[in-house]
Amino acid sequence: MSAPSIAPAATTVGNPAINIGIFALFVVVTLAIVIRASRNNRSAAEYYAGGRAFTGRQNGIAIAGDYLSAASFLGIAGAIALNGYDGFLYSIGFLVAWLVALLLVAELLRNVGKYTMADVLSFRLRQRPVRIAAAISTLVVSFFYLLAQMAGAGGLVALLLGIEGAAGQRLVIAVVGVIMIFYVIYGGMKGTTWVQIIKAVLLIIGAGIMTVWVLGKFGLNLSSLLGDASTASQSAGGKDLLQPGLQYKNPIDFISLSMALVLGTAGLPHVLMRFYTVPTSREARRSVVWAIWLIGIFYLFTLVLGFGAADLVGAAEIKNAPGAVNSAAPLLAFKLGGEILLGIISAVAFATILAVVAGLTITASASLSHDIYNTVVKQGQATPEQEVKVARIAALVLGAIAIVGGIFALGQNIAFLVALAFAIAASANLPTILYSLFWKRFNTRGALWSIYGGLVSAITLIIFSPVVSGKAIDPATKKSPSMLQGVDFHWFPLDNPGIVSIPLGFLLGYIGTVTSKEYNAAKYAEMEVRSLTGHGAEAATHH
């Protein structure tokens, strides 16, 4: 591969004009699709659930699109490039998590609920308090996840467009936010789903091409790639990438992270909401099987891309790039295919961010309008038209908050921010969902204790963990890996609170239930029949 004729400035990678062109093309095409898909968004079922008209395969690809976020692509490839074996553990955790979602949650949720997670939780409990709690939890998880995506967008686009300084990156985050708000307000779930399907296909093909290309440089031999990457890392003064323990010195820290990743998926509101876009529970199951295959193949690609970046790009160059850890995949694309491949891969990563952010925003806005506005403010009397109108206003406000939050989160490792969202989802949402579906005695007090207890404990432990303050300064970057520099108020020793907050969420749900006599046997019987047979479940709306 000959070097490009115009030597790019040290900070930019590739040619900003080509990158902007490819970005713009992608945005124009998806906007056209969103506008076309949004023609039927008259009813609430159309806006929130795409009319429940997607097949299992389409929904499975869209779930993969929703789930393979910028963290999966940029954060994990970077983590593997710098920490080898330990970085790959993220991939394994994210993938195994799907089995929990498939076996315990997908089909039953599809049968019981209507649009949001709170529909399931409040089915046999007191509506108002449970819906408010579920909506708060949905908003907090979505907010953490949104932060991660927006931070990724800022760093990535700054790298590609050669934008120096924080002001330019902030502008980029604002532009991403505005495009995403348009997708959600106009396209609703249907437009958002199509964006996710296109993006998932592009991402998996792009990563697949790069994987074959990297392996081609090593005679299509995976073990020689791993060996070379490890040797290159050691000769540059780094550690052996094939040894565990580069990132997680403390095994308890690792167990805590694994618990959050494996149990968090089944409690992520934006993933749960995707199960409502299919016509039957059988299609809900099919969609998870499709998602598992696609996501599994993609995570095998990240292994090759991460080690390929470690060997061909090198740890020093990755650490010094504007997006640091998150720039490993774009830098590898530039090494392999020059400006064009870099532009395409970056546009795909950018698409990834847009699609995931749109999915999160529609989930959070649905929760605000369907759970809070309709049930709490209007006592369940709002018309579907009013609900959709409020959802659109909520999307606008949430988009603005996401832009501001993303500006503050610039420069954080995205995979790590996402792991925090998973910890909160696993602590607050999962215990309540499982108890609701499977435990006859479960009642309103149990639900509230488990949601609020899991939420408060997870967030408190995160605030007082080394992630926020108190990590030693890294000699290479002259900065501490913690979010706040130069202060130390941490007393909780682990990076991820999962090992404490998840069992606590389950325990509080149990204690709350056992100490309260309230219990609705008839409603549980109805819910059990409905969840297992689909009798009385929401049907697809055909036009």
Mean pLDDT (whole number) for 191-197: 84
Alpha carbon distance 41, 81 (integer Å): 44
> Tell me, what amino acid is at 161?
L
Residue 242 CA to residue 84 CA, distance in Å, equals 6
Q: What confidence category does residue 50 fall into, taking pLDDT thresholds of 50, 70 and 90?
A: low
Residue 505: pLDDT over 90: yes
Q: pLDDT, tens digit, for every residue of 431-480?
A: 988 888 888 888 889 999 999 999 999 989 988 888 777 777 776 666 66
Phi-psi region of 380 (alpha: psi -120 to 50; beta: other; left: phi over 0): left
281, 115 in Cβ contact below 8 A? no
Q: CA–CA separation, 104 vs 223, rounded Å?
A: 37
CB atoms within 10 A of CB 13: 26
> So what's the pLDDT on residue 454?
92
Strand, coil or helix: 73: helix
The amino acid at residue 499 is I
Q: What is the mean pLDDT of residues 183-194?
A: 80
Phi-psi region of 246 (alpha: psi -120 to 50; beta: other; left: phi over 0): alpha
- Give pLDDT, residue 215: 92
> The tokens of 538 are what?
């929401």
Written as six digits, the tokens of 48 are 């929130």
Instruction: Give the model confidence (pLDDT) of 17-30 as tens digits.
Output: 777 788 788 888 88
**Side chain identity at residue 67, one-letter code:** Y
CB contact at 8 A, 81 and 307: yes
Q: How many C-beta atoms lie closer than 10 Å to residue 243's C-beta?
A: 11
Highest mean pLDDT among 50-59, 389-398, 414-423: 389-398
Q: Are 97 and 264 in contact (CB under 8 A)?
A: yes
For 356, phi then psi, to 5°, come to: -70, -40
Q: Are 141 and 421 in contact (CB under 8 A)?
A: yes
**Residue type at position 279:** P
Rounded distance between C-alpha atoms, residue 443 and residue 517, angstroms: 8
Q: How far apart are CA 501 and CA 505, in angstroms?
A: 6
- What lies within 8 Å, CB to CB, of 413 at 6+ separation is 75, 78, 79, 324, 325, 326
- The label of the residue with tokens 């090198």 reads 314
Residue 274 CA to residue 62 CA, distance in Å, equals 8
Report pLDDT for 214: 92
**Which pair of tokens denotes residue 409?**
């989160």
Give the model's pLDDT for residue 22.
Answer: 80
Task: Check whether 510 has a pLDDT greater than 90.
Answer: yes
The candidate with the shortest Cα–Cα distance to 170, out of 147, 153, 154, is 154
Distance of alpha carbon 13 from the chain centroid: 26
User: 532 phi and psi, to 5 degrees?
Assistant: -90, -30
pLDDT, position 61 = 92
* pLDDT score at 493: 85
d(CA 207, CA 76): 13
- Confidence band of 414 (pLDDT split at 50, 70, 90): low
Query: Contact 263/427 with Cβ under 8 angstroms?
Result: no
Three-point CA angle 103, 56, 527, nearest 5°? 50
Residue 426 tokens read as 């696993």
DSSP symbols for 350-389: HHHHHHHHHHHHHHHHHIIIIIIIIIIISTT---HHHHHH
Gap between the Cα atoms of 402 and 405, Å rounded: 5
Most confident by average pLDDT, 96-100, 157-161, 256-260, 500-504 = 500-504
The DSSP string of 410-475 is TTS-HHHHHHHHHHHIIIIIHHHHHHHHH-TT--HHHHHHHHHHHHHHHHHHHHTSTTTS-PPPBT
pLDDT tens profile 51-72:
677 888 998 998 888 888 766 7
Q: Give the whole-angstrom CA distance, residue 196 versus residue 199.
A: 5
Position 329 scores a pLDDT of 85
Instruction: Give the lowest-confidence range in 242-251, 294-303, 409-418.
Output: 409-418
What is the pLDDT confidence band of residue 186, given thresholds at 50, 70 and 90? confident
| Residues 195, 354 contacting (CB under 8 angstroms) | yes
pLDDT in tens, 307-325: 998 888 877 777 777 666 7
Instruction: Give the whole-angstrom CA distance, residue 80 versus residue 207.
Output: 15
- Residue ranges of alpha helices (H) inside 162-235 are 165-217, 222-235
> Tens of pLDDT along 339-375?
888 888 878 877 777 778 888 888 888 888 887 888 7
> Between 11 and 242, where is the model more confident?
242
Average pLDDT taken over every residue of the chain: 80
Question: Are 310 and 81 spatial neighbours (Cβ–Cβ below 8 Å)?
Answer: yes
> Given this model, what pLDDT does residue 4 score?
37
Quote helix, strand, coil % in the chain, to nearest 5: 75, 0, 25
Q: 315 versus 502: which is more confidently predicted?
A: 502
The SS3 of residue 479 is strand
The pLDDT of residue 211 is: 93
**Rounded to an integer, what distance in angstroms lies between the CA atom of residue 187 and that of residue 267?**
25
Q: Say what the pLDDT of residue 466 is.
A: 81
Burial bucket for residue 220 (CB in 10 Å: 0-12, 13-18, 19+):
exposed
Please tell me the number of Cα atoms within 13 Å of 173 on its side-chain side: 27
Type of residue numbered 107? E
The pLDDT-based confidence of 84 (bands split at 50, 70, 90) is confident
Q: Hey, what are 304's tokens?
A: 């090759």
The residues that bridge with 474 in the sheet, in sequence order, are 479
pLDDT at 42: 66
pLDDT digits (tens, 9 = 90+) for 252-269: 888 888 888 888 888 888
Residue 131 has pLDDT above 60, yes or no: yes
Query: What's the rounded mean pLDDT across residues 293-312?
Result: 90
Q: Which residue has tokens 């992270």?
A: 257
Q: Which amino acid is at 297?
A: I
Is the CB of residue 279 less than 8 Å from the CB of residue 117?
Answer: no
Q: 93 or 43: whose pLDDT is higher?
A: 93
pTM above 0.85, yes or no: no
Give the tokens for residue 445: 């007090």
